Amino acid sequence: MEPAVLVVGAGPVGLTMALELTRFGIPVRIIDKAAARTDKSKALVLWSRTLELMDRGGHSQAFVDAGFKVTAANIYAGARQVAHVRLDELQTPHPYALMLPQSDTERLLEAQLNARGVKIERQVELTRFVADTDQITATLQSADGREETLTVPWLIGCDGAHSAVRHGLGMEFVGNTMLSDWILADVHLHGLTDNANEVNTFWHADGALALFPISPGRYRVIADVGDALTGQRRPDPTLEEVQAVLDQRGPGGLVVSSPIWLASFRINERKVADYRAGRVFLAGDAAHIHSPAGGQGMNTGMQDAFNLSWKLALVHHGLVSDEPLLESYNIERSAVGQQVLIDAGRLTALATLRSSAWQQLRNHVASFAFGMSAVRQTMATKLTELSIGYPHSPLTIVGKHGHAKPAAGERVPISSSSTLTTQGATPRFVLYAARDPQSADVIGRHSKVLEPALRPPFDEDHIWLARPDGYVATVVAKGEWDQVDRYLSLICGQ
Ligand SMILES: Cc1cc2nc3c(=O)[nH]c(=O)nc-3n(C[C@H](O)[C@H](O)[C@H](O)COP(=O)(O)OP(=O)(O)OC[C@H]3O[C@@H](n4cnc5c(N)ncnc54)[C@H](O)[C@@H]3O)c2cc1C
């Protein structure tokens, strides 16, 4: 079958994109210029919301089986614990951070894509493209120098921070490179007794140290090691340097050994203004990069893919009018990317304050704030990305029932017993409403984009219409089926 979408890049974002599009019945080609997938652990965490979205395609179990569940994160300032944020009380089927090296995440995504009959075309590079109003003409080059010209309706750049697709669009990657050096070490660590299976961050006078458990005894160590004085890249750290940072900033008694990966890096904070130009889209690191604080980069990119794929599927299948739906991808995900940039930047700035007066104030305020359960809850839902919503999206209609929960734009809560798996080849909206004779009319009229059965409402007085990705599109009063009908007619362009 002729491909409808060319996905450029088979990192975690391109793989998620290709998997979702395939699940919705769209023929794709996915290419990557590299000969093999990464063998580096890079992004370590799959957060709750990413796992929930994977569940919709029945994908998360293999990841959960392979990963390591972490249920809390702590911040220490010297010997004092200033924060203990629990994840195990969150209302989600996945109340934890799932630690899984990115190399494994990519391996499992690729296996699922293969199981759906799609193979990554490796050592195939997008070298240039021409975007017309009705199609894209892409030039692909194989390792042996052979060139192919491919014409497709849609092109998605999931080709990472140095994106050829972004360059081809002439889009600016607005932002800067922070002038501090960081080290990263995947190692075995002995001697961590307190909260050894939790994420532990230490705010020290000389800088930050964070320890992420990867599997029993194995950890990711991250630390900032001062201002970058030259434009030159810092050499990768030695094991002795890692040990010295642990001795200086850690709880004491830690012994590091068996390094698997030692690297230094600098933090870039950049984003494009638009995630879309006509028939070309950007997703993942191609569109936004930021501090690793909070571990949001890969998850945000994968959620770009979940957001775009159902919209493109409905448009491709001719079930909706394309403009508002496709433009909402840019509006919704650009806002999320901007917020992640701000939050990760703030977390990094707080952890790396240099003045002792500011450090004391920070420790005092943080200790007070994290004493409040509302602050801990906010932190937990932000980290896990459960708090992401689209209240200002053109797809969200707030109406008169803003008080009903979940509100328009918010995530539909999922109880562990009601995990959703979208059925069939096309994405569908879902109605949460009490049984009502009028519901059959609306469901019948919009049967191509609406699930055939009602789900139980969150209260008896309202009807919720949820998008295929599990966010509330609108809430109306019981019986106001005309409002539901109007929403779906608008989306479908009738
Ligand atoms: C040291 C480190 C630690 C990190 N820690 C975390 C973390 O804890 N949590 C987190 O969420 N994120 C983390 N990240 C970020 C995370 O790794 C990225 O956000 C993630 O890899 C982005 O995925 P992607 O698919 O958008 O891009 P990439 O993974 O960069 O994949 C892009 C792919 O596109 C291919 N490609 C590029 N150009 C072309 C072309 N012209 N033609 C064909 N193929 C092309 C590349 O070969 C590559 O395979 C970390 C990153 C690093 C480096």
pTM: 0.95
Residue 269 has what pLDDT?
92
Residue 336 has what pLDDT?
97
Which CATH number applies to 5-44+101-173+272-350? Answer: 3.50.50.60
Residue 417 has what pLDDT?
44
45 CA distance to ligand 1 middle (Å)? 14
Q: Looking at ligand 1, which residue's alpha carbon is closest to its atom 14?
A: 43
Ligand 1 test: best mutation among 7, 30, 31, 32, most atoms within 8 Å of CB? Answer: 32
Ligand 1 test: best mutation among 125, 141, 159, most atoms within 8 Å of CB? Answer: 159
Q: 295 CB less than 6 Å from ligand 1?
A: yes
Ranges of each domain in the chain: 5-44+101-173+272-350, 175-269, 416-492
Q: Looking at ligand 1, which residue's alpha carbon is closest to its atom 53?
A: 42
Shortest CA distance to 88 belongs to which of 388, 417, 470, 384?
384
Residue 292 has what pLDDT?
82
Q: 468 CB less than 6 Å from ligand 1?
A: no
11 CA distance to ligand 1 middle (Å)? 6
Residue 494 has what pLDDT?
64
Region 360-374: mean pLDDT is 89
Task: Point out the ligand 1 atom lying closest to the alpha carbon of residue 15.
Answer: 25
Residue 422 has what pLDDT?
55
pLDDT tens, 130-178? 999 999 999 999 999 999 999 999 999 999 999 999 999 999 999 988 8
Mean confidence (pLDDT) of the chain: 92
Which CATH number applies to 175-269? Answer: 3.30.70.2450
Residue 253 has what pLDDT?
93
Task: Point out the ligand 1 atom lying closest to the alpha carbon of residue 165.
Answer: 41
